[in-house]
Every structure is written in C-alpha cells, then in structure tokens.
Amino acid sequence: MYASNFEYDGKLLSDFGFIICEFNGSGGLETKETGYNITFNKVPRHGGRINGLAGTKYDECVRCSFSICKNPNLYDDAEITNEEYRNVVRWLNRHEFHKFRMLHEDGETMVSPCFFNASFNIEKTYVADKLCGLELTAETDAPYGYGAPYDRTFTFTGGGGETAKIIDTSDDAGYLRPDLTITCGDNGTFTLSNPLCDSEMEIKNCVIGEVINIYGSTQIITSSVPSHKVYNDFNYEFLKIGNTYGSRMNTITCPKQCTLRIKFTPTIKDIP
C-alpha cells in the first residue's frame, strides 16, 4: 500500500480515526486515470501519407479512487456510526476544490512530491449489513499535480546588470504566469523581460514607493497609488515563466531600481 493517511483542507484522515485500506485485494490506492493523456489533433497532408500536428490538449483531469475504514488500532468495532459517516462526508464532499495530498503513516511525509486541488464523491461499503468502509473518488481541477510553491524576492539596483535566475521545475513544457509584487525604487517605465519565453512586460508612469501587484492566474493588476490608472499604462503582456525540453533556466531583467517578488507553483506529473 502506498499510503495510509492523507491531508485535505488542512486536516488529516487520521484526525477522524480512519486509515486508507483495501476491501477487495486490489492493492490499496488504485489510480484510475492519470489525467495527463494528450490528444493530438492532426491534419492529413500529401494525400494522407503524412499528418501534420495542428494542436494538442488534455481531455481529462486527474481522478483516483481508494477506500478508507476506521483504524483497527483505535477501535474494537469496525462499524462506522452515522455521526462518523456524516463528519467524513462534511469534510470531503465539498462544492469547491481544496488542497489534497497522500501521506505515509506518520502523517507528515508525502507519498509523492506533489499535491492536488480536489473534492470527493463517496460511496458506502457494507460487510454483513454493517457500514465498515467508504470508497472515495477524488476529482481534481487539472490533468496534473502541483509541486512545492516557488516564492522568492529579488533586488534590482537600476544599473542593468542584475538578473533574476529562476529554474522552472515543471514537468509540463510551456509557460505559466506567476504572481508578482513590484516595489518601485525609481520613477518612469518599468519593464520585466524573460527571453526564454519571449516575454516583456511594461508598465508606464510608475513612481518611487509604488507597490504593484500582478496576479498571473486571474490576470488582475493593482497599484498602491490610487491616482495611477495602471491598467491604462500596462501593455498586457504578463510576465511568463516556463521551460522548453532543452532549457529550464529563466533569466529575468529589469533596468529600473525595484524589488521583485515572484510566486508560482510548478506542475508535477506524478500520481501516487
């Protein structure tokens, strides 16, 4: 068995007196769909003898099923009471996604180096007309998991010589838009460039002391200076962080004096 415990929305399965188990000898945790199967859209060429690649996409999100039961080391009676069942359902069967990760018995060590955003559907398992187990099916928001969040602050002095070196550890080649916090140390136009992703972000009319927040996933930009209509001075080229099959190194440059905080979460293709 890969895991005996898991964390969901800041709580552990063991907090409820349950463990991961198996009822049918299938080996415990059973991954049913990895989610990262790619569909290749092809266009016939040269009389159908060659197919050109027109595009790719992920069709499914990660989905897995496993069973839980009451911890036999804690309970003499394996039957799940109605109150225990309702407590677990209230915790797991949610209308929104929360952080989920598989853990070893100690409740601290992760089974794989990633977590998922998930919610659960639940089915009951009866033994001799007694409710003794629950079958959980985790439904996630993406065809991959997420690694340890990257969060680092860089300082640029305005001399043009500094760079922010960032290694993107994502398993998926491509790019993402990180969250940025820029604290301006100069007046004028700020640019952030990353040649690896052919990305150059520009914001005009910045002032000393201004704090600009850029949220990559929602593409929202705000300024601490109310008079600065930053959305009118932004070129809407959000800074990208990414990797190719040949390179993971991102080199960020900024010709103005500022501090730059960069936050993002790499994608991980590792299903426990």
Same domain, 50 and 176: no
pLDDT single digits (tens) 68-113: 999 999 998 899 999 999 999 999 999 999 999 888 766 566 666 7
pLDDT at residue 159, as a whole number: 77
The one-letter amino acid at 55: G
User: Domain of 169?
Assistant: 147-268
Give SS3 for 83: helix
Q: What is the DSSP letter of 80?
A: P
Q: What is the distance between the alpha carbons of residues 98 and 27, in angstroms, rounded to a whole number? A: 26
Which pLDDT value is given to residue 91? 96
CATH for 110: 2.40.30.200
| Same domain, yes or no: 134 and 162 | no
Comparing CA positions, the residue from 69, 65, 93 lying closest to residue 16 is: 69
Q: Which of 143, 163, 178 is the last residue of a domain?
A: 143
Asked if residue 133 and residue 160 are part of one domain, the reply reads no
User: How does strand 220-223 pair with strand 211-215?
Assistant: antiparallel
Q: Is the same domain home to 136 and 212?
A: no
CATH of the domain at 257: 2.60.120.860
Q: What is the pLDDT of residues 201-241, one digit of tens each?
A: 999 999 999 999 999 989 999 999 999 999 999 999 999 99
Question: Residues 134, 212: one domain?
Answer: no
Q: Say whether both 126 and 81 belong to one domain.
A: yes
pLDDT at 48: 54
| pTM score of the predicted model | 0.74
Domain co-membership, 92 together with 133: yes
Same domain, 261 and 135: no
Give the residue from 118, 143, 168 where a domain finishes: 143
Number of domains in the chain: 2
Does one domain contain both 133 and 201? no
pLDDT tens, position by position, 138-179: 888 888 889 889 999 999 998 777 899 999 999 888 899 999
Identify the domain boundary among 143, 166, 188. 143
Q: Are residues 55 and 112 in the same domain?
A: yes
**235-266: per-residue pLDDT in tens?**
999 999 999 989 999 999 999 999 999 999 99
Q: Which of 152, 160, 175 is nearest to 243 (CA)?
A: 175
- Considering the domain architecture, whether residues 14 and 135 belong to the same structural domain is answered as yes
Question: Domain check: are 58 and 161 in the same one?
Answer: no
Residue 111 and residue 3 in contact, taking contact as beta carbons nearer than 8 Å: yes
